Amino acid sequence: MEIAAIQTRGLTRLFGELTAVDAVTFSVAQGQFFGFLGPNGAGKSTTIKMLTGLLEPSAGTVEILGKAFTAASLDLKRQIGVVPEGMALFGRLTAPEYLRFVGRMYGLDRETTNQRTDELLDFMQLSDETRKLITDFSHGMQKKLALAAAVIHGPKVLFLDEPFEGVDAIAAGMLKSMLQRMISRGATIFLTTHVLEIVERLCSHVAIISQGRLVANGSIEELRAGVASSLPGSEASQRLTLEEIFLSIVGAVGQDAAQELSWLA
Amino acid sequence: MAGIESRADLRWGPFGSMARAQYAALASMRWSMFRNSQRTTRGAMELGARTVAFAFYFLFGLALGAGFGGGTYAIAASGKWELLSGLFWALFVMWQVVPVTLASFQEHFDMGGLLRFPIGFGTFFLLHLIFGLVDASTMMGGLCCVGIWVGMMFARPDLFASTAVVVAIFAAFNILLVRAIAAWMDRWLAQRRTREIVGALFFVGLLFLQLLNPAYWSSQKHPHMSSRTRAEGLRWLNKANSVQHWLPPGLAALDLQRSAAARPLAAMEAASLLGIYVLGVGGVLGMRLRGEYHGENFGDAPARRRAERRTRSWLLDGSGPMAAVLEKEARVLTRAMPLIYALAAPLLMVFLLSGLFANRGGGQGSISSFSLMVALAYALVGFTQLFYNNLGPEGPGIQLLFLSPTPMRTVMMAKNLFHMLLFSVDAVLVCFLASLRIGGWPAPAAIAATFAWLLFALPVHLAAGNLFSLNMPYRMNLGRITRQRGSQVSALLSMLIQLGVLGIGVGILVVCAYFHRLWLAVPVFLVLAAGAFIAWMRVLNSIDGIAARRRETLLATLVRTD
């Protein structure tokens, strides 16, 4: 039996009386492009923080590449790359300085770090901005840099929290092709995003979290079949988009927003 | 937009109905923030610390105010009006210097966040003045002004109204000037080129001031030259006196002098000139605030000469996380004005204050035995933020420190080493400055004892600083010198620790000097240093555990963007 890249069992996180993530159990196979979806406040970022060691679970376990993962699992941390919610950038460094810093923090030698820094800056089209401080970067540039930093050490598992937010169409296309290349080379990617078209195009498997609970998990085809079986008209349901599947699962279908906010022009 | 049309009656301007509604909303928001902050233990501690700090400022201001009041009374009662300008100059210097010395310990509200709302420039300007009005300098300055007014009331009740007006205008001038200087400093020093120029000017200025000291002492050694120099000095003083009458402190004094001489028109002339100064400073502040109002970002970097790509070889450019953190700290420091400012400001104060020890003799037990220790202790004040909030400058980057496979102990160790290195440089500069100002070095035993004390003091501060950094972190805005959000608890406790460490040092020196065995202080300090070193190592060894426990608070505090 193949070892899962990511495996959670009963992952739970409480904030006081609020249960942000409630006994979430799922598995991501190695080499899978996994989309983790949910409405705002559903618990996506909390889950990704627990998976990457930024937040301690109240209950449950996380395994990465078959080994129990905690904040102190330094060897496992070398195997993962993360673009967290706040991007983890140091505003007063330049992009090459930051990438060199990250490379060395992940244990790369100086030569490899420098070489990869140059390659990544070229790839991310940031090589003309090497003297600019990160604080002066646009949001999209910061996202690209955060992604470059997440992959500089060649992680086997990549966690991306909203990586395409604020990134222009050209850069987004470039990033997508990079991520697909990583998948073809055996890496595992765990992605959260609100852009469902991207998930539909890139991800082979999807999990949906709502109000802290995992409400769906499987391949997109499996989810489509599941939703289709509950809808009348099998022919139309075969063409369901991920957005329709998502809305159907999280229970937002049928809400008539037009009748609200009548004062809006 | 029906809602907006229905409120067409709203009047704009800083005192219009719209602005008043916004002031009310802001006041309500600040009140809610204050109330919500009391939900946590830390918030309650912050309130306690702030209360203590403000009680201290108030009492200090009250004492100063009594002094100014007494001075005014004596001058007015004796009719020596020419001395009054000295009083106003003293108040002016105090008002402008206090914010410099307390910059690290005061909380400020960042007005930039309000720009998303439909706020007029007048409202923005007014809010900038109102928020943080109850700071240490305004409180102390205000109390001094009240002191002057009361002193005058007792000596010359007939000048009650004119004194009130002049003192109020003078206070307005000082408030606006403090704000204008801070705002422009933030702007200028946000640019790398200006930082370099200001840094160079600062050190040239210090060197220039050094020349005054040997000149003064050499004049003391040659009395015949001294009298000539004195005459020359007096001539310059007279010239300066004629000029200072045209400057705000001199004008305030002149106004009162003329009022006392029953020359109301002449007094009004001086008051009007003072008013023009107020308008001028207000205009200077307004120019700066207009830039901010139009969305200027302090993070704006200067124009680059060209997009070039090169790999600089650094002294610290070794492999490994320790070298990486050392290099990062060095790079961030060179671009972080609040930190550079915090390090440089004590040098200036050491220069000014070490004059107190000047020419007091170098023998055992003399006051100069303590001079280096006190000067170094003051230099340590500049390291308060670096030692006691060493994760504060990381911002969102703190996440990387938790995500990377480098233990937090290594990160903190590298930071501590960097700060020690930095302090060593600062200490050499401080000793150099202090010795030049004092006009010689203390006795060798005092020097040795001071450095032994430093071996004790540094590990104590590093150990305590690491604990504070993990337990009471606060985010620093590296693009600004003023208007930082600090932690009063951290500031107060760190000051207490600094005073304690200095107290131990001075206490041991005093005892040893009393028994004429100053050298005995060296082994005592070395024993203490060994204890402090062990404590520092123990703290470092426990860093990973503490960091893991405090991880969520650290991330929540440092990553937030509000």
> What are the pLDDT tens digits along chain B (562 aa)?
444 444 555 566 777 777 777 777 777 767 776 777 777 777 788 788 888 888 888 899 999 999 999 999 999 999 888 888 889 999 998 888 777 666 545 555 666 666 666 677 888 888 888 776 777 888 889 999 999 999 999 999 988 899 999 999 999 999 999 888 888 877 776 666 666 666 666 656 655 555 555 555 555 555 555 666 677 777 777 777 777 888 999 999 999 989 888 888 888 888 999 999 999 999 999 888 887 777 665 544 444 444 444 444 444 445 688 888 988 888 888 877 777 777 777 777 777 666 666 655 444 445 567 778 888 888 888 888 889 988 888 888 888 889 888 899 999 999 999 999 989 988 888 888 777 777 777 788 888 998 999 999 999 999 999 999 998 888 877 666 555 566 778 888 888 999 999 999 989 988 998 888 888 999 999 999 999 999 999 999 999 999 988 888 888 888 865 4
**CA B184/CA B190 separation, integer angstroms:** 10
CB contact under 8 A, A52 and B307: no
Strands A80-83 and A157-161: parallel
Mean pLDDT, to the nearest integer, of A203-223? 91
CB contact under 8 A, A107 and B2: no
Structure tokens that stand for A190 in this block = 């765990």
Strand ranges of the sheet holding A80-83, from the earlier edge strand across to the other edge: A80-83, A157-161, A188-192, A33-37, A205-210, A213-219
B559: left (phi over 0), alpha (psi -120 to 50) or beta: alpha
CB contact under 8 A, B300 and A136: yes
Residues of chain B numbered 472-501 and touching chain A (CB < 8 Å)? 478-479
CB contact under 8 A, A107 and B405: yes
Chain A residues inside the 8 Å CB shell of B311: 96, 114
Structure tokens that stand for B264 in this block = 């109301």
Q: Provide the shortest C-alpha distance from residue A53 to chain B (in Å).
A: 7
Nearest to B395 among A85, A91, A107 (CB): A91
> Which 3-state string (H, E, C) describes A130-182?
CCCEHHHCCHHHHHHHHHHHHHCCCCCEEEEECCCCCCCHHHHHHHHHHHHHH
Amino acid identity for residue A18 in this structure: L
Q: Kindly state whether B555 is in contact with chain A, defined as any CB-CB distance less than 8 angstroms.
A: yes
Neighbours of A31 (CB within 10 A): 17
Nearest to A105 among B324, B336, B551 (CB): B324
Task: Report which secondary-structure segment, H or E, holds B312.
Answer: none
CB contact under 8 A, B331 and A74: no
Q: Which residues contact B244 (CB under 8 A, 6 or more apart)?
A: B85, B89, B250
% chain A with pLDDT above 90: 41
- On whether ipTM exceeds 0.90, the answer is no
CB contact under 8 A, A136 and B299: yes
Structure tokens that stand for B94 in this block = 């105090």
**H helices present in chain A, as ranges:** 44-52, 74-77, 95-105, 110-123, 139-151, 169-184, 196-202, 220-229, 234-237, 242-250
**CA B187/CA B293 separation, integer angstroms:** 13
CB contact under 8 A, B301 and A136: yes
Residue of B nearest to A117 (CA): B311
Residue of A nearest to B317 (CA): A110
Nearest to A97 among B320, B331, B401 (CB): B331
Nearest to A53 among B304, B402, B478 (CB): B402
CB contact under 8 A, B309 and A89: no
**CA B418/CA B240 separation, integer angstroms:** 46
pLDDT of residue B223: 54
Structure tokens that stand for B305 in this block = 């000469």
User: How far from the centroid of its chain's Cα atoms is residue B104's Cα?
Assistant: 6
Chain A residues inside the 8 Å CB shell of B478: 91-92
User: Is this structure's pTM higher than 0.80?
Assistant: no
CB contact under 8 A, A136 and B406: no
pLDDT of residue B149: 93
